[in-house]
Amino acid sequence: MGLVQDASSPATSISVQSVQGNTCPSFDPPDNPLFLSMWAADAQPGSGVATPTAASTPSQTWTRDGYDYRDTGTPTVDGQAGIWSASAVGPVSSTTITITNQAPSGFRDAAQRVMVFTGHDPSNPIGATKGNRQNSGSSISDSITATVTGSWGFMVLCDWNQGDPTGWTEGAGQEIIEKGLTFGTSYAFIQRTSPDGVNSTTIDFSITGLPTGGQYHWVIVEVLPDLTAVDFISVSTDVMLEPGQALF
């Protein structure tokens, strides 16, 4: 069957500057779901921030799959982006995801998009991951290498300078799920149009039309399908019997 993005995936949540947590709308997921939380956020300029955390109600075990901010590499640019995942077992209802940003008040605004999946690998749902950043420039291009065939690539992009995202345009084979502005950042959530990962080849992402002077952070992850799942096909066969012959 492969990976399926479930219709219960809630709308994007925007947190205000005076509130640490970014809480998505409540939703009713299917049994045995995978949750993927993509998060783009402001950050106090000129210094690092405490590592944000993810939690949910009912409680799930969350993994930080990718996180990029000013102190995780060069060039040094403000802002932050992250992706977390949790693979639940059994029925889960009225789930609420909370991302807590430990930045000081006034630098907490963020956008969060929670995606809900079925058909994922229940024991190892996330494959390749990557965080990266860029200072200015009119385009971004990056990729990860797929670890299995049939995987699905996702990307969250943050511009700390709050440049107008209207002109942001995705490359071939990609889809911007949503782009917009918070109180202090611009953001985009991007996916490959379909689960088109091929083992040992690249999963590509590119965005053009960026305003000059942006300060960008992004994270890319690979969501893995359940390779042990088997689709059973029932085949009906007409058999001509001789008189007196029995079919067992």
| H or E element that contains 154 | strand 152-159
- Which class for 25: exposed (0-12), middle (13-18), buried (19 or more C-beta within 10 A)? exposed
pLDDT value at 111 more than 70? yes
Domain that holds residue 138: 4-223
Q: What is the mean pLDDT of residues 236-242?
A: 46
Largest Cα separation within the chain, whole Å, is: 90
Q: Using the predicted structure, report yes or no on whether residue 248 has a pLDDT greater than 50.
A: no
Q: What is the pLDDT of residues 123-178, one digit of tens each?
A: 999 999 999 999 999 999 999 999 999 999 999 999 998 889 999 999 999 999 99
Q: Are 175 and 191 in contact (CB under 8 A)?
A: yes
- How far from 108 is each of 22, 100, 121, 157, CA to CA, in Å? 9, 9, 33, 16
Residue 89 within any structural domain of the chain:
yes
Total domain count, the chain: 1
Asked if residues 138 and 185 have their Cβ atoms less than 8 Å apart, the reply is no
Query: What pLDDT score does 101 carry?
Result: 82
- DSSP bridge pairs for 132: 218
d(CA 220, CA 41): 16
Is residue 238 situated within a structural domain? no
3-state secondary structure of 161: coil
**Helix, coil or strand: residue 9:** coil
Q: Could you tell me which of 35, 36, 2, 33 has the C-alpha nearest to residue 226?
A: 2
Q: Which residues pair with 217 in a beta bridge?
A: 133, 158
Please give the residue that has the higher pLDDT: either 243 or 100.
Answer: 100
Q: How far apart are CA 83 and CA 53, in angstroms?
A: 10
pLDDT digits (tens, 9 = 90+) for 49-102: 778 999 999 999 999 999 999 888 899 898 999 999 999 999 999 999 999 887
- Picking from 214, 207, 4, 38, the residue whose alpha carbon sits closest to that of residue 117 is 4
C-alpha 74/C-alpha 134 separation (Å) is: 8
Q: Per-residue pLDDT tens for 188-217?
A: 999 999 999 999 999 999 999 999 899 999
Residue 236 lies in a domain: no
- 243 within some domain: no
Please compute the mean of the pLDDT values over residues 232-239 and round it to a whole number: 43
Identify the bridge partners of residue 128 per DSSP, sorted by sequence position.
none
Query: Could you tell me if 76 and 136 are in contact, meaning their C-beta atoms sit under 8 angstroms apart?
Result: no
Kindly report the pTM of this predicted structure: 0.91
pLDDT of residue 26: 96
Instruction: Report in angstroms the alpha-carbon separations of 109 from 70, 104, 184, 226.
Output: 17, 11, 6, 35
Q: Confirm whether 229 is domain-assigned.
A: no
Q: Is residue 91 part of a domain?
A: yes
- What pLDDT, on the 0 to 100 scale, is given for residue 234? 40
pLDDT of residue 242: 54
3-state secondary structure of 78: coil
